[in-house]
Amino acid sequence: MFAMRALVKTTAGPGLELTDVPTPKAGAGQVLIKVLRTGICGTDLHIDSWDDWASRVVRAPLVLGHEFVGEVVGTGPGVKDVRPGDTVSGEGHLVCGTCRNCMAGRRHLCIRTIGLGVHTDGAFAEYVVLPESNVWVHRHEIDLDVAAIFDPFGNAVHTALAFPVLNEDVLITGAGPIGIMAAAIARHAGARSVVITDVSEYRLELARKVGATVALDVSKEPIADVMPELGMSEGFDVGMEMSGRADALQEMVATMRPGGRIAVLGLPTGDVPLDMATVVTRMLTLRGIYGREMYETWYAMSVLLRAGLDIGPVITHRFGYEQHTEAFAAARSGRCGKVVIDWTRPTAEAVPAAEAVPTAAPTAV
């Protein structure tokens, strides 16, 4: 078995190491993928810094990474629909297939979900293996950088389309990359207005580029002040909480109209006191969002891109795999959108801003 380069949490402590590890093989029902690009997720930053969550959940040694695009180079026995040469992304939630929700077709609710790059070796490597059922084949031309972030793009689609947004006033709290993509999706889906909040002017400007009606620095102006400017008299119709901050969810609840609906993706680090009297008397709906619906969200992502949705502006930094330290520093700085690592080049000087791969002729999805 030959070795490959991989970014590994080698020991239980801070830091990562680019090192050689055995190249995986595709077993029965599995697909071997040559990794082309990967995106850095907040989860990867937690594992790198080895915070309390990571020390409880992760077992070293571990190859990180769950956001990726690659080329299929081999398949194991029993694989039917994925072929060598296919350009693919991967669903990073590995489900059991036998629990109540899996058996009912609600695999995103699997009680025994395993995370790629969290509980099992991931995609920050030259090669990765996935079950065929977790492989998404791109049947149309796609920018490799965009294909690399289908995982967080899916989070944004799942959240943004959790409730109908056509003609609605939408509030998004948290202008991280997923929040920014959600703003683009809501506008594309016909929202009347999209207000997104943060305290980072860098990220608020990215949100403006993808079509946010108002990108608001809440350290300088309260949300309620922009409502009259947008012709709103009763409050927002749909909320999307992306920040994980208690005060953001509290202010969102306070500015929703009666009957408003809130999708919550942001993970808080502590308890969140909530004005339940307002939730009850305004008859608000709160819905937790985790991951992507398998595979309805993936269909939606491909359709949205083919229909003209542009999430390219959210990708702001590109690095080669030997520049992983700089890549993680950029992702941690907050002055970035999505950070992409190219696994075909050690450094990124020669990487073009966009590189599309022509695949098979488009088919209905």
* Token duo for residue 205: 């400007």
Establish whether 336 is an annotated binding residue. no
183: part of which helix (H) or strand (E)? helix 177-188
User: Using CA atoms, how far apart are residues 207 and 212, in angstroms rounded to an integer?
Assistant: 6
Establish whether 149 is an annotated binding residue. no
Catalytic residue among 43, 173, 197, 213: 43
Establish whether 289 is an annotated binding residue. yes
Establish whether 291 is an annotated binding residue. no
Catalytic residue among 19, 23, 46, 285: 46
Task: Find out whether 29 and 94 touch, Cβ atoms under 8 Å.
Answer: no
Establish whether 203 is an annotated binding residue. yes
Establish whether 41 is an annotated binding residue. yes
52: part of which helix (H) or strand (E)? helix 52-57
Task: Find out whether 23 and 63 touch, Cβ atoms under 8 Å.
Answer: no
Establish whether 102 is an annotated binding residue. yes
CA distances (Å), 50 to each of 91, 142, 330, in order? 24, 34, 18
Establish whether 202 is an annotated binding residue. no
Work out whether the CA dihedral 257, 259, 260, 264 comes out positive or negative.
positive
Establish whether 312 is an annotated binding residue. no
Establish whether 266 is an annotated binding residue. yes
Single-letter amino acid, residue 350 = A
Per-residue DSSP letter, 350: T
Task: Find out whether 252 and 229 touch, Cβ atoms under 8 Å.
Answer: no
Peptide linkage before 61 cis (omega within 30 of 0): yes
> Which residues lie below 8 Å from residue 334, measured CB to CB, with a gap of 6+?
200, 202, 203
150: part of which helix (H) or strand (E)? helix 150-160
Establish whether 295 is an annotated binding residue. no
* Catalytic residue status for 46: yes
Angle between helices 150-160 and 296-306 (to 10 degrees): 100
Binding-site residue ranges for NAD(+) = 178, 198, 203, 265-267, 289-290
Binding-site residue ranges for Zn(2+) = 41, 66-67, 96, 99, 102, 110
Binding-site residue ranges = 41, 66-67, 96, 99, 102, 110, 178, 198, 203, 265-267, 289-290
The residues annotated with a catalytic role in the active site are 43, 46
